[in-house]
Structure 1
Amino acid sequence: MIEIDDEVELPLIIFEGACSWQDRMLASLAEAGIGWKIGCRVSTFATLISALRAGLGIGLLLQEGLPPDCQSLNGRFNLPPAPMADFGVYLARDPSRLVEECGDFLRAGFEA
């Protein structure tokens, strides 16, 4: 189980490069007056999960992506809520039937 100390900067596992969802998370922490530091930088989802399992910090991911051996901190330790994530499905003007069906499948999943 993770312990969060108000006197110590929160170690974060963050993705390398630009990520608007991550930027919103950092802004939320700043607005809440929560200090943070980079515990680990990752480039893939698999690396993020490995860093979580190794206890290198906390990370931001969708609930659906949280493995059963990791815990959600949602609503705990006075942390601000995770920012909303916006997703979109974009297709070429005249996609193949298979691509169009895949796009319809993804849209339906996002709307659920």
Structure 2
Amino acid sequence: MKKLVILLTIVLSFGVVQAQKVYSVDYTNQADVKVFVVDYEAQADLKVFKVKYQNQAGDNDGKWFFTKYANQAKKKIYFVDYEAQADLKIYFVDYQNQAGWRKSSKKMLLY
């Protein structure tokens, strides 16, 4: 029982780590999440702002830092060509305060 509690604590602690450090992979089978960039904000599940520094990356709030290497990222994403292939639809915004979830039902994809 004690081992189960310790294991559960470790597993749950990984879930609260910032998920907004992302790496764009080359192949769909390498990705944790498949992403499609929509043309209009109203079509998006998540509005994303690309930050310049990794310490600015948000805590699952749409502020993404694209890492140089896959092992630095919390989530690996693949940009798909068609909306129907995507797990998550995003829209890139121009200002940090515009970032955030439009559909919180998809929020668990980045935890």
TM-score, length of structure 2 as denominator length: 0.29
TM-score, length of structure 1 as denominator length: 0.29
For CA contacts below 8 A with separation 6 or more, give which structure has more relative contact order: 2
